[in-house]
């Protein structure tokens, strides 16, 4: 009887090549990372890449030198005592953008670009004044979001806000005096919403709001000029918490002939009450 033979292949040992190849890739990657860090350090510390010029554009209210001095102060530091911040390689662009808009309330947004090896370009977008508020001879500018952002504006041809400071200005936590804080809204949100609704209503009917006067009693007066007839009228809203109802009553009064009376320059002021009442005073001829 023939002796049988096992024709199956013998068990072979696993090759060590894949593991060696993986280690080789890890070494290569580590070497590349180390080379990149080393190159970055060399570039960051090289005088050629040191920021020597800061160009600021778009500034009308914010002095250019203030922005330049602020950036220069920030760039005096370093990141983790390794990378100097005054290099085009390691300049903290996002941090600068955030801090500049916080430090300078007149700056709405900005962009920082690297230019060449040793220069950065700072492009500012400043807040646009749409209102001004004055106490005695001190005036501040206010943007479309109601934010106080700069001084000045007493002679500007924009909407002016008047009123009792104790009614709507923010108070300091350490003093009983009314304070104006740049970067914060002048009016509470509810008042801003009410005024925006009144302004939208009047602008849609050909008026330009020139003055807003707030009272501690809770009402406010809006002085507006009709663009076509140049008729000047004072609108008083007695309850700012029911502004929608008052605007609705005023709309009905306009539909019943009040608008034409204003255009004819025969109305001096209009008072809107709730419920269902709008009265106005005719100009005595």
User: What is the enclosing helix (H) or strand (E) of 97?
Assistant: helix 93-103
Confidence band of 6 (pLDDT split at 50, 70, 90): low
CA atoms within a 13 Å half-sphere pointing along the CA-CB vector of 49: 17
Lowest mean pLDDT among 150-159, 172-181, 190-199, 206-215: 172-181
Map residue 189 onto helix, strand or coil: helix
Is the model's pLDDT at 163 over the cut of 80?
no
Whether the bond into 275 is cis, omega within 30 of 0: yes
The segment with the largest mean pLDDT, out of 56-60, 183-187, 238-242, 250-254, is 56-60
Q: Which residues of 234-263 are buried (b: 16+ CB within 10 A; e: fewer)?
A: bbbbbebebbeebbebbeebbeeebbebbe
C-alpha 160/C-alpha 102 separation (Å) is 26
The per-residue pLDDT for range 208-233, each reduced to its tens digit, is 999 988 776 767 889 999 988 888 88
- Quote the tokens at residue 230: 């140049």
Closest CA to 75 of 46, 104, 95, 103: 95
Average pLDDT over residues 61-70: 90
| Model pLDDT, residue 125 | 94
Give helix 243-253 / helix 189-203 axis angle, nearest 10°. 10
CB 122 within 8 A of CB 71: yes
Map residue 211 onto helix, strand or coil: strand
The residue ranges of DSSP E strands in the chain, in sequence order, are 53-57, 78-79, 83-84, 107-115, 119-126, 131-135, 138-142, 148-151, 159-163, 207-214, 220-226, 232-237, 267-273, 277-282
Average pLDDT over residues 44-66: 79
Backbone angles phi and psi of 277, in degrees to 5 = -155, 125
CB 210 within 8 A of CB 159: yes
| Model pLDDT, residue 7 | 53
């Amino acid at each position: 009887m023939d002796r049988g033979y096992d024709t199956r292949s013998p068990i072979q040992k696993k090759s060590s090549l894949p593991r060696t190849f993986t280690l080789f890739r890890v070494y290569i990657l580590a070497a590349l990372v180390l080379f990149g860090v080393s190159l970055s350090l060399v570039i960051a510390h090289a005088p050629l890449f040191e920021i020597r010029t800061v160009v600021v554009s778009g500034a009308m209210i914010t002095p250019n030198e203030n922005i330049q001095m602020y950036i220069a102060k920030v760039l005096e530091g370093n990141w983790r005592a390794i990378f100097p911040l005054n290099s085009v390689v390691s300049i903290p662009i996002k941090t600068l953008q955030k801090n500049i808009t916080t430090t300078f309330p007149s700056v709405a947004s900005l962009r920082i670009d690297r230019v060449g090896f040793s220069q950065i370009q700072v492009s500012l977008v400043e807040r646009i004044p749409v209102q001004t508020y004055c106490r005695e001879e001190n005036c501040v500018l206010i943007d479309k979001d109601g934010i106080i952002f700069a001084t000045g504006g007493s002679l500007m041809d924009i909407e002016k806000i008047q009123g009792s400071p104790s009614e709507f200005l923010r108070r300091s936590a350490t003093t009983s005096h009314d304070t104006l804080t740049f970067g914060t809204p002048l009016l509470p949100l509810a008042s801003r919403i009410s005024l925006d609704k009144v302004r939208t209503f009047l602008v849609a009917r050909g008026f330009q709001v020139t003055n807003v006067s707030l009272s501690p009693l809770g009402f406010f007066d809006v002085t507006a000029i009709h663009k076509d007839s140049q008729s000047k009228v004072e609108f008083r809203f007695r309850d700012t918490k029911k502004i929608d109802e008052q605007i609705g009553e005023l709309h009905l009064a306009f539909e019943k002939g009040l608008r034409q009376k204003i255009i004819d320059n025969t109305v001096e002021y209009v008072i809107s009450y709730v419920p269902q009442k709008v009265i106005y005073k005719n100009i005595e001829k």
